[in-house]
Amino acid sequence: MQRVAVVDYGGSNLRSVAKAVETAADGAHEVIVTDDHALLRSSDRVVFPGQGAIGDCMQRLREHDLVGVLQECLRTRPFFGICLGLQSLMQHSDEDGGTACLGAFAGQVRRFRADAGPGPDGTPRKIPHMGWNEVHWTREHPVTTGVPSGTRFYFVHSYYVVPGDEGLTLGRTHYIDTFTAAIASGPVFATQFHPEKSAAAGLQLLRNFLNWKP
């Protein structure tokens, strides 16, 4: 039985992510929540959830001495980053006065424009972007199998990633501007939206990830 590690760096939302992974695994994988370096390195798959601000996230990763461990896991096994777990993979975020991130990929994290005005129906476009929105895939990928382009997922965020390489983008969503909602490269798959809050479609992504052999 493969082990799936959900990274525990003291942030929020860990238990709901772990519960969703357990549901998707349906007993076929062992799911643990841990910050133990040895357990993370020996796990077959890693899920890195995140919720909140990037400055606090990076500080907690440093306090738990997890930066190097995560960078190693990113290179060596299937890795699923969720929300802040996506943003942290870039080089730098504008949040919290400017924050250095893990630097797994070239790219920046930007805040939504505050001067966007109302949407097409006249309602204000508020920040954060919160609620269900469509994600359009840019190409086929094993983790999106059975999840059609245009499927709606649940978002809660004020910042979004701008990859240095357009080829990194796997999914796009429009809110104020069109932004990258998912990336994929090698063993890494990461989303700005929350699959654990996205009902059947989110569980399907997690099932696909658990069976993915990059």
Task: Say whether 83 is catalytic.
Answer: yes
The DSSP H or E segment spanning 204 is helix 199-211
Residue 19 to residue 180: CA distance in whole angstroms: 26
Active-site position among 29, 129, 157, 194: 194
User: How much of the chain is helix, strand and coil, in % rounded to 5?
Assistant: 30, 35, 35
Task: Say whether 95 is catalytic.
Answer: no
Residue 120 to residue 57: CA distance in whole angstroms: 35
Active-site position among 57, 73, 83, 101: 83
Task: Say whether 73 is catalytic.
Answer: no
Q: Which stretches does DSSP call E strand in 62-128?
A: 79-83, 92-93, 99-100, 107-111
DSSP-derived letter for residue 88 is T
List, by residue number, the catalytic residues: 83, 194, 196
